[in-house]
A and B are shown apart, each in its own frame.
Chain A
Amino acid sequence: MTAVDDRPTTEIGTARRRKEDRRLVTGRTRWTDNIQLPGMLHLAMVRSPFAHAKINGIETAEAKGAPNVIAVMTGHDIADIQGVNITAWPITPDQKSPDHLPMPLERVAHAGEIVAVVVARTAAAARDAAELVDVDYEELPAVLDLKAATTDEVLAHPDLGTNKSAFWQLDSKAGGTGGDIEEAIARAREGGIVIEREYRQQRLIPAFMEPRSTVVDPTGEQVVMWTATQAPHVLRFCIAATTGLPESKIRVIAPDVGGGFGGKLQSTPEEFITLAVARKLGKPCKYTETRSETMVSAHHGRDQWQKLTLTAEKDGTVTGLKVELLADLGAYAALVGGGVPVLGAWMFNAIYKFPAYQFNTTNYYTNKTWVDAYRGAGRPEATYAIERLMDELAAEVGVDPLEIREKNWIKHDEFPFTTVAGMTYDSGNYEAATARAKELFGYDELRAEQKRRRESGDPVQLGIGVSTFTEMCGLAPSRVLGSLNYGAGGWESASIRMLATGTVEVVTGASAHGQGHETAWSQIVADRLGVPFDSVEVLHGDTQIAPKGMDTYGSRSLVVGGEALVRAADKVIEKAKPIAAHLLEASVDDLEFSAGQFTVKGTDKGIGIGDVALATFAAHNYPEGVEPSIDADATFDPVNFSFPHGTHLCAMEVDTETGATRMRKYVCVDDIGNIINPLIVEGQVHGGLVQGIAQALWEGAEYDDQGTLVSGSFVDYTLPTTADTISFVTDHTTSPATSNSLGTKGVGEAGTIASTPAVVNAIVDAVRQFGVDDILMPCTPERVWKAIRSGGGTQDAATTPAQQAHFDEGTPNQDPAAGTTDGVVQ
């Protein structure tokens, strides 16, 4: 054999095309809404148009009499079994959490809340009849604005007596992880730099492509719920904990799920109502929402005001950071709910060595749609704040934004590094990622072009935005979650079943909805057990098939679930070893396992693991004292988070005359540790980038002063399209994580966390010359234009003939009425 042949061929690191694709590209799919069951009934929800109102009565007779309507129910009809939508994370023992009934009986606290449900033989009949339900509402004053909520002048829930849910603090002095922030601020006010800013994290809508759908079949011994969820296991727990159904009588299945981004980790009123109605009627029931219902009722994300104080020496060495957040939870504390801002607590200090730090969040209720995790959950907010601030500091000191970061970041030889927030970053190399990103970006050339445009007074200015982010992934060590009062652990489970005919069933507690787990998990197991990639079948998303699981969110599936898989595979090998030794008539101690083969050291005797599986299945010949099974389970509880990082560079062109912006180039170099499948990783980065860019440029959930969501459809909530976006340049540096044996860090949220500040920094960089130091997100042309104007801008500059060629003699479009609003020459 040649040396080349000796190189191990591994699945890990290979850009395998996805196993999942074949079904998905041919339309052979099992979305929840595709499911049809005999006698199945269809639900339509009657939702409150008011943000806050008392329900004085609900007249259902007319709806009940409509064609093909089977039943109309209100909260009173299902009160005994509807359960409660609970929060898993009361962030303090005294957190105020209003009861959240799936269908309230007396009062609605946000527009879109469900007050009645119509059950009919077809979805169309149900929806028609829902129009006939007459609800007598008595409107109550609503609190809609987050800052107004802090005054308690109008209460979202009068019974609570306040809009404040909870206050939570992390203080480096109190925690013994750093200095006193007030001292740092006082010192900086004397002779240093103090940067004080208030940033807005606008409210976003996750906008997964598949609208949520739930089918409940109550006709068997167990109630089966198919639902478009990221978290079937968590959902089953919530149902069992609040509806009176024993956990063992509930089977939750997440079939094909069309995206989630946090938006489908909720346990929802719609799921609970469908369950209650199906149980009441004893018939299978389906509820599929319209997109407009998704927008107003599925949880929203972000929505914070961030008051920030960054202190530094004159040379730009940061001495402290104080963070004071106001977070809008919407009308109810959602599943993670109040914990989302808390997830940012360890990330505002980012990749930097800050000596003093304090994080404060105060969470408030308003009469708007509830808020929970949306891709990044707490960490995009933190990253945005600190990366915007570092640019402000660079401007104040008068140096390049990369220089100010380098001055303050953790050097590659300082890992492991315990931060001022108390997290221990195990690995990273910010220098390497930044150097690579600069090279791919053509940083110096673009800076030169920026200078040229500035000097020539080009109406289109160029800005360069930097974001050197880190995040904490892999939610989470169970003890850490426990110490934070979270309602569950952060372990993950895996099982491997070695089938008699040579295929391998892998059961994972993670619940994929687009991530490509079937492919990546197959690669890991194929390598570990030495079996062909195509022989591995990955099963997930069904509480009966995968009985233990903590599901998919928080970039946890690979770093936690992947490690569980590795441990289960190692157990399989350990269990197979004595049986292989017995079959080979050798001692266990003389056996080696490699590439799927047990071999006896120093001989050519060997047996493949598939043959061991077959022999174990037959069980005619196996050693005394072992069970005839080589299947294995493992549950992995991580000891630390993982800390991906990266350097993102963005070039934006800003038309100073119209405020329009155009992305020129976007480069990111992420360090996500070892990569299982580069193709899947790249896809996660691309998608993440666009969601973060969308926050910077286009998206925002807007309410009017009546509490109506005015961006309540895809017409008004402007998701980016192919025409709005560009192709990206992505690359990687690798510092393997030490918290799991695969060395992986998690990539699902990285792009979203990093990209928002990179874009806004670029826009501000383009227009800072006009006195602008912030633009509210989304940075619409109107806002950019106004910022330029209010900052001084280009309005007084003389217009050159080249800029108004259309006014030149003999050129087209010289209709004398053009430019007037009413077509009349003035």
Chain B
Amino acid sequence: MTRITVTVDGASYTDEVEPRMLLVHYLREVVGKVGTVVGCDTSNCGACTVHLDGRSVKSCNVLAVQADGREVTTIEGLATNGELHPMQAAFHENHALQCGYCTPGMIMQAVDLLNENPNPTEDEIRQGMEGNLCRCTGYHNIVKAVAAAAGASERSDA
């Protein structure tokens, strides 16, 4: 067992974990952040996407011990004071989710995408989101939501 200290959604957690434990299992089973979910076992689906020090990672592809001393943001830490993050609001407004299982990962990836490229074209959105699978929406409204969120932040910056 290894002792790690991780900041998750602004709070600090110190735990003894098995070195083999995946970050996603640490988040779900130890910290109780069950908003982050597991959709596959081959790192294809992206449902478990979180931010590690501000960049998106598939948390099934990171060991919990690698997060030691670092900061994790999950879907549960995105809204502030009950106010939805603009990307969460854009997903709601554009009906970019149906069953909602891929949604946490989609939103975390989309936020990272816009951090890197605040004004993506449709093609850049489609390339930037291709690591996250959705079976319900056909992606149409997800792409629309990301574009809308980009447009909204552009307007608010102006």
**Residues of A at under 8 Å CB distance from B?**
17-18, 20-29, 31, 33-34, 124, 207-211, 256-259, 261, 290-292, 513-516, 679-680, 682-684, 686-691, 713-715, 719-725, 727-728, 751
Contact among B38, B74, B93, B122 with A27 in the assembled complex (CB-CB below 8 Å): B74
Chain B residues 103-145 with CB under 8 Å of chain A are: 103-104, 107, 122, 125-127, 129-144
Chain B residues 22-66 with CB under 8 Å of chain A are: 25, 28, 33-42, 44-45, 47
Contacts known (A687-B138, A690-B139); A18 close to B95, Cβ less than 8 A: yes
Contact among B41, B75, B130, B140 with A26 in the assembled complex (CB-CB below 8 Å): B75
User: Can you list 22 contacts pairing A with B, beta carbon distance less than 8 Å?
Assistant: A17-B92, A26-B76, A26-B78, A27-B36, A29-B35, A29-B100, A33-B34, A124-B25, A209-B39, A209-B135, A210-B37, A258-B99, A291-B45, A683-B95, A686-B138, A690-B138, A713-B42, A714-B40, A722-B125, A722-B142, A724-B130, A727-B140
- Asked if A25 and B98 sit within 8 Å, CB to CB, the answer is no
- Asked if A21 and B138 sit within 8 Å, CB to CB, the answer is no
**For the complex of A and B, 7 pairs with smallest distance between CB atoms:** A27-B35, A514-B99, A258-B101, A24-B100, A690-B138, A686-B138, A714-B44
Contact among B34, B41, B44 with A290 in the assembled complex (CB-CB below 8 Å): B41
Distance of A257 Cα from B40 Cα, bound (Å):
16
| Interface contacts beyond A26-B75, A713-B44: sample of 19 additional A-B pairs, CB < 8 Å, sorted by A | A21-B91, A23-B100, A24-B97, A27-B36, A34-B28, A34-B34, A124-B25, A208-B135, A209-B39, A210-B37, A256-B99, A687-B98, A690-B139, A720-B139, A722-B143, A725-B126, A725-B139, A725-B140, A751-B138
Q: Quick check: is B79 within 8 A (CB to CB) of the other chain?
A: yes
- Asked if A210 and B99 sit within 8 Å, CB to CB, the answer is yes
- Asked if B39 and A291 sit within 8 Å, CB to CB, the answer is yes
Q: Quick check: is B102 within 8 A (CB to CB) of the other chain?
A: yes
- Asked if A515 and B76 sit within 8 Å, CB to CB, the answer is no
The interface residues of chain A lying within 8 Å CB-to-CB of B47 are 209
Interface centre among A26, A684, A723 (most CB of B within 10 A): A26
Contacts known (A31-B37, A210-B39, A714-B45); A719 close to B135, Cβ less than 8 A: yes
Contacts known (A258-B101, A513-B99, A683-B95); A727 close to B122, Cβ less than 8 A: yes
Q: Of all chain A residues, which has the CB nearest B142?
A: A722
Q: Of all chain B residues, which has the CB nearest A717?
A: B44
Interface centre among A21, A290, A515, A688 (most CB of B within 10 A): A21
The interface residues of chain A lying within 8 Å CB-to-CB of B126 are 722-723, 725
Q: Of all chain B residues, which has the CB nearest A291?
A: B40
Contacts known (A21-B91, A26-B84, A29-B34); A727 close to B143, Cβ less than 8 A: yes
Contact among A22, A259, A515 with B92 in the assembled complex (CB-CB below 8 Å): A22
- Asked if B133 and A714 sit within 8 Å, CB to CB, the answer is yes
- Asked if B92 and A687 sit within 8 Å, CB to CB, the answer is no
Distance of A256 Cα from B25 Cα, bound (Å):
20
- Asked if A25 and B103 sit within 8 Å, CB to CB, the answer is yes
Distance of A727 Cα from B140 Cα, bound (Å):
5
The interface residues of chain B lying within 8 Å CB-to-CB of A208 are 99, 101, 135
Distance of A303 Cα from B107 Cα, bound (Å):
35
**Residues of B at under 8 Å CB distance from A?**
18, 25, 28, 33-42, 44-45, 47, 74-76, 78-79, 84, 88, 91-93, 95, 97-104, 107, 122, 125-127, 129-144
Contact among A22, A27, A31, A210 with B33 in the assembled complex (CB-CB below 8 Å): A27
Distance of A300 Cα from B59 Cα, bound (Å):
29
Q: Of all chain B residues, which has the CB nearest A17?
A: B92
- Asked if A259 and B98 sit within 8 Å, CB to CB, the answer is yes
Q: Of all chain B residues, which has the CB nearest A294?
A: B40
Distance of A605 Cα from B45 Cα, bound (Å):
60
Contact among A27, A124, A211, A719 with B133 in the assembled complex (CB-CB below 8 Å): A719
- Asked if B99 and A257 sit within 8 Å, CB to CB, the answer is yes
Interface centre among A25, A720, A728 (most CB of B within 10 A): A25
Closest chain A CB from B31 CB (angstroms): 12
Q: Of all chain B residues, which has the CB nearest A208?
A: B135
The interface residues of chain B lying within 8 Å CB-to-CB of A292 are 41-42
- Asked if B138 and A27 sit within 8 Å, CB to CB, the answer is no
Contact among B34, B84, B136 with A259 in the assembled complex (CB-CB below 8 Å): B136
The interface residues of chain B lying within 8 Å CB-to-CB of A211 are 38-40
Closest chain B CB from A709 CB (angstroms): 14
- Asked if B92 and A18 sit within 8 Å, CB to CB, the answer is yes
Distance of A567 Cα from B132 Cα, bound (Å):
42
Distance of A27 Cα from B27 Cα, bound (Å):
13
- Asked if B139 and A514 sit within 8 Å, CB to CB, the answer is no
- Asked if B79 and A26 sit within 8 Å, CB to CB, the answer is yes
- Asked if A721 and B97 sit within 8 Å, CB to CB, the answer is no
Contacts known (A25-B92, A687-B98, A690-B139); A723 close to B130, Cβ less than 8 A: yes
- Asked if B100 and A682 sit within 8 Å, CB to CB, the answer is no
The interface residues of chain A lying within 8 Å CB-to-CB of B142 are 722
The interface residues of chain B lying within 8 Å CB-to-CB of A684 are 98
Closest chain A CB from B10 CB (angstroms): 14
- Asked if B42 and A28 sit within 8 Å, CB to CB, the answer is no
Contacts known (A209-B133, A209-B134); A25 close to B143, Cβ less than 8 A: no
Closest chain B CB from A268 CB (angstroms): 18
- Asked if B135 and A207 sit within 8 Å, CB to CB, the answer is yes
The interface residues of chain A lying within 8 Å CB-to-CB of B130 are 721-724
Distance of A727 Cα from B36 Cα, bound (Å):
28
Distance of A174 Cα from B125 Cα, bound (Å):
56
Closest chain B CB from A187 CB (angstroms): 44
The interface residues of chain B lying within 8 Å CB-to-CB of A719 are 133, 135
Q: Of all chain A residues, which has the CB nearest B79?
A: A26
Contact among B41, B92, B138 with A688 in the assembled complex (CB-CB below 8 Å): B138
- Asked if B95 and A682 sit within 8 Å, CB to CB, the answer is yes
The interface residues of chain B lying within 8 Å CB-to-CB of A291 are 39-42, 45
Closest chain B CB from A727 CB (angstroms): 5
- Asked if A683 and B35 sit within 8 Å, CB to CB, the answer is no
Q: Of all chain B residues, which has the CB nearest A690?
A: B138
Distance of A209 Cα from B39 Cα, bound (Å):
6
- Asked if B133 and A721 sit within 8 Å, CB to CB, the answer is yes
The interface residues of chain B lying within 8 Å CB-to-CB of A34 are 28, 34
